[in-house]
Amino acid sequence: MVMDVHAEQIFEQLRILADKLYKRNPHEWKKVGLPSRKAAIDRIFTKPFPLVNGKISTASIRLAFNDKYQGDRVLAFIAGIGSMLDLAYNGKSDFYILDSFDAQKVHNSARNIEIAAWLLKSRKKPNGQAYLLSHGKSSDGVNQSFERVIGKMIGQQDTLAQIVARKTHRIIKNVVQSAAQLVFLPV
């Protein structure tokens, strides 16, 4: 039941993030000919998450920030995170008492979401524009709503990793990394 609740919550947060990104970047869903933002979001959240140029997980996330990629960057970013989470959950969407999970995979997925957030905020095209608009500035200050949604996702994954680790009596290895290295961890 705990796993069910965590999975529901994290995928709901991912859907909110997709909506926020499409609101700031409507040209992304329009360039692939979809009729609406809702249609674009529904396309992402089909199970399994769609392959993007044959890529899933962190390879798909990186694609969203590749100069040569001409497709829907929000799709690449969100489907990459979603498929990475699916890998961390062993491809399951229904969980049972006898299911087992690897706490390290869940922990690593949280670290990878941190790197994805850093890429979202910092990666720029050669002309200096962001690949995906997210953190906007206004007279009221900086829009932190993206950080809040991503922070919830990271917190949920970290909590779940601790629950799974305690259940299986395993220790999570904390790998020292910095966002500057931009090295995704295996899931």
pLDDT at 98: 65
One DSSP character per residue, 153-182 reads HHHHHHHHHHHHHHHHT---------TTT-
Residues 20, 39: Cα–Cα separation, whole Å? 14
pLDDT at 47: 86
Q: What is the pTM of this model?
A: 0.91
Helices (H), the chain: 2-24, 26-30, 37-44, 57-63, 73-88, 103-122, 145-168
3-state class (DSSP) for residue 37: helix
Question: pLDDT by residue for the chain (187 residues), tens digit each?
Answer: 788 888 899 999 999 999 999 999 999 999 999 999 999 999 999 889 999 999 999 999 999 999 999 999 999 999 999 999 999 998 887 777 767 788 899 999 999 999 999 999 999 999 999 999 997 665 566 667 899 999 999 999 999 999 888 877 666 776 555 445 678 888 8
